[in-house]
Structure 1
Amino acid sequence: MELYFNWNAVCALKVVLCLAEKGVDWTPRHIVLGKFEQLEPGYLAINPAGVVPALVHDGHVILESSVILEYLEDAFPDFALRPAAAADRARMRWWMRQVDDIVHPSVRPISFARFVAPRAKALSEAERAAMLSRTPKKEIADLWDRAAGAPFSDEEIGRYLTSIRKVLISMEEQLRGSRWLAGDMLSLGDIAMAPYFRRFEQLGVTSLWSELPAVSSWWQQMRARPAYAALDRLRLQYAPADHPAA
């Protein structure tokens, strides 16, 4: 099993956390986003979207982090991360959709404004044009172009933070009645959400949940799990070669 990932890419870290919880051995294939290795022909042959993660298992290529999480649950069911009850499974998937549809699209531009803009502005016009022409996903190309030009306004960043805050308030309501997002067992919903809290800390926006006690308790539980240490190990191993990226 090979995982193409970046040490600081939130979608990739969902998969790392899932593998760690399940105790599955895997071979790391680190993609240095700061050097645009995700746009090299060899990687595009694996993932034509030019993003991480990509999982290769027994010759099968699995793409998109939420799909990879479900794949790992099917392939390695001994340590279950999907509830047995249908209603709880639906709740788990609802939280995964909150991550994919709201949290990630809101975090990405904030991350670009904070981490990517300095690098984007340092590129020459020719370098930027070459990079943009090689970027398959238009929304990512647009973010790079925006980061290099007009910065995101405080008003725009505020709107993204408001969207995230609404999701966290919903989390607070859920977690007042259960230990985890899909009930009393850790699930893929929690795995999908956790790396974003790590990113919130990097961005210095912990005030998003400082007055949400149930969410705060949930995050403390997630960080205390032995599997979470896998994220710190990857940071220590790979961060010096890379730049923080969305």
Structure 2
Amino acid sequence: MSSTTNLTLYVAGASYYSVRVEVALAEKGINYDRCTINGFICENLEPWYMKMNPTGKVPTLMHGDKPVCGSAAILKYLDDEFPETVSLYPDKQSPLYDQIKQFEELVDSYFLGTLVGGCYKYPKYVPKFGLWDHNCCKNIWMVGHKIIPSRAAENARKHPELTELYERKKDNIVEYDPTEEVFKDVLEKVKNIVDTAEEKFQDRADKGEKVEYFMTDNFSSADIYLVVFLKKVGAIGFSSYWEDGKHPFVTEYFKRLKQRPSVKEVFKVYDADIQKISEFQIKGLFAGKL
């Protein structure tokens, strides 16, 4: 384990993007302090947090007094700042580097809140709800569609110097409250990611390459992106997208990677957080405030 102790990671319970960073930190063996931000009471909209991360999102990594915002930036930062740990990226001059970055961009090409909000509004499209049940999706929809815009407006009045930042947060309502057509488009993007992963596995197998990991012979950021993506969409209820007999590489890969110590450790906490969100009685907490 790294002896580093001046790292603080700000996360939210069951945060898809936070999980990526926590898997990376576990894989690298870097010690850090974990600070949980409660999204249901909008701690991410408190002025102290908005000044640290102007998007008001998680994760945020504080390295000393330097903030690094967003999972993509944090993963690369960890590789650059801690070269003595296992690397998550190949050399920048390698063609593999560009291929991994392209896949990461593909996975990030849809907004996750739209997927969760759509599952709440249009449950007929969910094959079978998993850990992320309908009530869990509803709670997240309530946060994105009602609580965040309301609290952002309130905080903007109290802290006019941050009005511009809070105005941007109010726009979250669009992302979390998709039309049926927008939601269907997101589902097609999810399917495309699964298809793309299977094709890349097949291509590597056809070349006689070992396919224990995704895209490279070693565990990399591409594996973090893929296994966390599969965990999320599978937990909501879309595991049938690859457990259909047409995606054998993805199916076996997910079974195998879930048992990797760094992944298994973080997923255990993630599952517990999902359960808490599902059982949360959001109306009771915000009675009369929505």
Deviation at 1:206, TM superposition (A): 1.1
Q: Pairwise mapping of residues 1-246 of structure 1 onto structure 2 (< 5 A)?
A: 1-77=7-83, 78-84=85-91, 86-100=94-108, 102=109, 104-105=110-111, 107-113=112-118, 114=120, 115=137, 116-118=140-142, 129-132=150-153, 134=155, 136=165, 141-144=170-173, 152-176=178-202, 177=204, 178-211=211-244, 212-235=247-270
Deviation at 1:179, TM superposition (A): 3.3
Gaps of 5+ in 2: 1-6, 121-136, 157-164, 205-210, 280-290
**1: CA distance, partners of 2:42 / 2:48:** 12
Deviation at 1:128, TM superposition (A): 5.0
Q: What letter matches 1:3 in structure 2?
A: L
Q: Is the 8 A contact 1:91 1:181 kept in 2?
A: no
**Aligned positions, number:** 235
TM-score by length of 2: 0.71
Q: What letter matches 1:229 in structure 2?
A: K
**2: CA distance, partners of 1:121 / 1:60:** 31
TM-score by length of 1: 0.82
Gaps of 5+ in 1: none
Deviation at 1:16, TM superposition (A): 0.6
Structure 1 residues 152 and 25: CA distance shift in structure 2, 3 A? same
- SS of the aligned residue for 1:230 comes to helix
**1: CA distance, partners of 2:242 / 2:276:** 32
Larger Rg: 2
Q: What letter matches 1:141 in structure 2?
A: K
**2: CA distance, partners of 1:46 / 1:197:** 30
TM-align CA RMSD: 2.8
Q: Is the 8 A contact 2:60 2:67 kept in 1?
A: yes
Deviation at 1:242, TM superposition (A): 5.3
Deviation at 1:144, TM superposition (A): 2.9
Question: Which residue of 1 is the match for residue 284 of structure 2?
Answer: none
Structure 1 residues 146 and 62: CA distance shift in structure 2, 3 A? closer
Deviation at 1:66, TM superposition (A): 0.5
Q: What letter matches 2:232 in structure 1?
A: R
**2: CA distance, partners of 1:209 / 1:236:** 21
**2: CA distance, partners of 1:173 / 1:44:** 41
Percent identical pairs in the alignment equals 21
**2: CA distance, partners of 1:139 / 1:88:** 35
**2: CA distance, partners of 1:129 / 1:190:** 37
Deviation at 1:228, TM superposition (A): 1.3
User: Higher relative CO (CA 8 A, sep ≥ 6), structure 1 or 2?
Assistant: 1
